[in-house]
Structure formats: structure tokens, C-alpha cells
Amino acid sequence: MRAKQSGFTIIELIVVIALLGILSAVALPRFINVTDDAHNAAVEGAGAGFATGIALLKAQVVANGDLGGTNVDDVDGYGEDPTLDVNTNGYPVGTDDGNDLAPNDDADCAAIWGAMFQSNGPTVAASGSSSSVDYVASFATPDCDYTYQQGSGTREISYTASTGAVSVTTP
């Protein structure tokens, strides 16, 4: 008597290989874009955190009874930086600008970022700095722009001190 052999036929193997090829053709492009999606999510998350810090600062200014009338030099009770200054609308303008309505330079923009995130946020440096950071802060009247330094493409967070508006731009 002949022993029955077991195994796969050539047709079964070809079908499995074809299915794997189709799956990889569909799935591979999706996995290639995961890195870009992760960078976009990081910028969107940082933008939301920054906007939340702006809103919390304004709430502190209102709670202190300092909103309206004059600019506030050194907001009491907010965060780790006791030198944070705000304009008449209650939005931050820097750490040395109590009489200004808006930030004046890249250093002011970097100081605002640092005050909003305090010690646990993404790192930032003023434009022209040689250090390795997550974002580079630059001042472009009337906005502070924070450009993300990782990945390809331009990802940016913009802050307008007169309105407190924070916007995120991703590719």
C-alpha cells in the first residue's frame, strides 16, 4: 500500500503568495506615512498644550483682577516663572515686557513658550541658537512662530499676543 503524502499543492502556495503580495501592497504605504502622522500629531498636541497654557494664564489674570486698563508686569500665582508679563487683554508678551502690547523679538517668543509649558514641555530656543531643540522660536510682527525641527516638511505653531490665538500648520 502506498502511504498518502500530505502537503500543499502548488496552486495553494501561489494563492497564499498572491494574497500576501496584495496585503503588503495595500498596507505598506500606510506604514510609511506613520512617521509623518506622528510628527503632525506631536505638533498638534504641543499646539493644544500651548493654547491651554495661554487660556490658564488669562484665567489667572482675571482671577487676580488685573484684566483691562494696564499691562501687567509679573503675573502673581501663575506657574514657575514669576516674571511673566501680559498685555491689557491678559495674553503673554514675554518676561521683561510689562509695558508692551506684544512680544518684541525671538527671545520674548521663546520665553513665552517656556512659561506656558514650564519644565515638562517640548524644548525651544530663539532663532539663531545652535542648540538641539524641538522648536525654534521666531518673531514676525505681530506673531510668535514656533517651527518644529523634526521630520520633513514645515510644521509650525503661531501665537498672536493681541488675541491669544494659537494656530497649528502641518503639511
Closest to 167 measured CA to CA, from 55, 46, 57: 46
- Radius of gyration in angstroms for the set of CA atoms belonging to the chain, rounded to a whole number: 26
Residue/partner pairs of 33-38 with CB below 8 Å, 24 or more apart: 35/151, 36/151, 36/152, 36/153, 36/171
Task: Quote the longest CA-to-CA distance of the chain.
Answer: 104
147 in Cβ contact with 138 (< 8 Å): yes
Cα 54 → chain centroid: 14
For residue 118, give its domain range. Answer: 34-169
Tens of pLDDT, residues 90-99: 888 888 755 6
Residue 11 within a domain: no
pLDDT-derived band at 150, boundaries 50, 70, 90? confident
Residue 161 within a domain: yes
Stretch 98-120: mean pLDDT, rounded?
Answer: 82
Residue 15 within a domain: no
Higher pLDDT, 119 or 170: 170
Residue 28 within a domain: no
Tens of pLDDT, residues 2-40: 677 777 888 989 999 999 999 888 887 777 778 888 899
Residue 10 within a domain: no
Q: Give the count of domains, the chain.
A: 1
> Sign of the CA dihedral 97, 85, 120, 160?
negative
Tens of pLDDT, residues 43-85: 999 999 999 999 998 898 888 887 766 667 777 877 777 778 8
